[in-house]
Amino acid sequence: MANKEKMDILVHTGPGTIMGNYLRRYWVPALLESELPEPGCDPIEITLMGERLVGFRDAQDRIALVQEWCPHRGASLFYGRNEGDGLRCSFHGWMYDVNGQCIDMPSEPETARFKERICITAYPCVVRGGVIWTYMGPKELVPPAPELEWALLPASQRYVSKRVQETNYLQALEGGIDSSHVSFLHRFDLESEPLFTAAKGNRYLRADTHPKFEVVESPGGLLIGARRQGEEDSYYWRITQFILPWFTLIPPFGDHAMGGHAWVPIDDENCYVWSINFHPHRELTPSEIEGIESGSGIHASLIPGTFNTVANKRNKYLLDRRAQREQRSFSGIYGVGMQDSAIQETIGPIQDRTREHLGTSDVGIILARRRMLNAALALAEEGTEPPALDQKSQKVRAASLLLPKGQPFAEGAEEVLVASKEKIVATL
């Protein structure tokens, strides 16, 4: 059973917490670029790791996230006016630029220099891969901009979405690195879902429901290898990349688009689930995009104008018992992404890990917790720089392939685990 004190460190991410300070050292996927589509557009509100923020894009096309409350009388800047050079509070007209500096204070005498002493919290932003990323850590320690493979591809080669999940980020992340559940929860989706169809690996997944896990520590996180029986002389390996602090890359099926996730805390009981499909060598096909937008894959159908899912705990995730009985869906819930979200939400907002009984298939989860906890404590107690801040750690791929029996998976798959435009994707 898990140690409660250690688990409490892992799940609490607000300002000043051990894990919160650690996570703020990374670039955070915060907004879709489409949420702030053009200079001078309407501001938006967002909560990240317990901080209520407002995002805006000024007339010079600079993007920032700033604290929501105005330091004058506490009014919400979400209701402010984007006036070109900054965001103006609607209460008394105080105005702030993308650096958080107050640049106008019309309620005070023109000769006053009071505004020079007023500055609000503001986080820098960059745009990569259709995503607005923000950095919430110490200003003097900004790491290089993110260079995950999908974030550097043309728009035609990637599809990115986000949705709200009503759980702590950690149990969502743990679902993403758990390869054994694919043989059960997603069992009947392996041929019907467009991004799985006709992949040879589907047969191995259905036939062998108790994979043997081997986990290897990588510079940026973990390589999590799930081994199933392949051919007579080989094993079928599905190798998931866990990149600190919240990214995963999902092993692909055949030549279909690859997949990935990021789980970003909104607060301790809710998170954003970022879902990405991409192909490093070609544009996504119409059938792949159709499958993505239908909600059958890792993405989900959303209530218009929100990031909340159509299927949710208030409507029992549109559970279809007939589909479950007829073996059209193992769980009766439509869509791979919604199946994951639903099951993770049934655990509760924050899982009580002191009640769990982990088995051999959970070694990846055990080591991911340990890697994150050790990194966060090393930063807090010794000032040790977190791993995976460098861009090289992010330039990796997941893989699914056959390897001869007896060959170490990390060694046998070494060539396909490195993201490179020159390498051919050879997956099952």
**Based on the domain organization, do 290 and 381 belong to the same domain?**
yes
Q: Is the pLDDT of residue 425 over 70?
A: no
The reported pLDDT for the residue numbered 322 is 93
pLDDT at position 1 over 60: no
Q: What is the pLDDT of residue 169?
A: 97
Question: Do 308 and 192 belong together in one domain?
Answer: yes
Range with lowest mean pLDDT among 7-11, 192-196, 308-312: 192-196
Which residues contact residue 383 at a Cβ distance below 8 angstroms, ignoring those fewer than 6 apart? none
Is 9 part of a structural domain of the chain? no
Range of lowest pLDDT (60-74, 187-201, 269-283, 342-356): 187-201
Q: Is the peptide bond before 245 cis (omega within 30 degrees of 0)?
A: yes
> What's the CA gap between 174 and 194, in Å, rounded?
25
Decide if pLDDT at 383 tops 80: yes
- Residue 329 clears pLDDT 60, i.e. is over it: yes
- The kind and range of the H/E element at 11 are helix 4-11
239, 347: one domain = yes
Is residue 365 pLDDT above 80, yes or no? yes
Task: Provide the token pair at 357.
Answer: 């009984």
- Both 171 and 252 in one domain: the answer is yes
Q: Which residue has the higher pLDDT, 402 or 193?
A: 402
Kindly report which listed range (50-64, 162-176, 405-419) carries the lowest average pLDDT score.
405-419
427 lies in a domain?
no
Shared domain check, 331 and 275: yes
- As a whole number of angstroms, the distance between CA 414 and CA 142 comes to 30
Band the pLDDT of 44: cuts 50, 70, 90: very high
Domain that holds residue 137: 27-141
Q: Are residues 250 and 320 in the same domain?
A: yes
Mean pLDDT, the chain, as a whole number?
A: 91
Indicate whether 221 pLDDT > 90. Answer: yes
Split at pLDDT 50, 70, 90, the class of 198 is: low
Report pLDDT for 421: 65
Based on the fold, state whether residues 49 and 188 are members of the same structural domain: no
Say whether both 187 and 259 belong to one domain. Answer: yes
User: Highest mean pLDDT range out of 2-11, 174-183, 207-216?
Assistant: 2-11
Confidence of residue 34 (pLDDT cuts 50, 70, 90): very high
pLDDT for the residue numbered 190: 66
Domain boundary among 113, 141, 169: 141
Domain contains 15? no
* Structural domain includes residue 10: no
Q: Which residues contact 119 (CB under 8 A, 6 or more apart)?
A: 99, 100, 101, 102
Give strand pairing partners of 229. 235
The structural domain count of the chain equals: 2
Tens-place pLDDT, residues 84-109: 899 999 999 999 999 999 999 998 88
What is the predicted pLDDT for the residue at 182? 73
When mean pLDDT is compared across 122-126, 144-148, 197-201, 279-283, the lowest value belongs to 197-201
Q: What was the pLDDT predicted at 10?
A: 97
User: Quick one: 59 and 130 in the same domain?
Assistant: yes
Question: Residue 426 above 80 pLDDT?
Answer: no
What does the pLDDT read at residue 358? 86
Helix (H), strand (E) at residue 101: none
In the prediction, which pLDDT does 248 show?
95
Nearest to 137 by CA among 48, 263, 45, 5: 48
CATH code, domain carrying 98: 2.102.10.10
Residue 234 lies in a domain: yes
Q: Are 221 and 215 in contact (CB under 8 A)?
A: no
Residues 155 and 267 in one domain: yes
44 and 111 part of one domain: yes
d(CA 17, CA 50): 11
Residue where a domain terminates, one of 141, 175, 204? 141
- Give residue 199's pLDDT: 73
Beta strands per DSSP E along 141-220: 158-165, 212-218
- 87 touches 96 (CB < 8 A): yes
* Cβ atoms 27, 145 nearer than 8 A: yes
What is the model's pLDDT at position 387?
A: 94
Residue range 223-229: average pLDDT?
91
Q: For a pLDDT cut of 70, what percent of the chain falls above it? A: 95
Is 70 in the same domain as 176? no
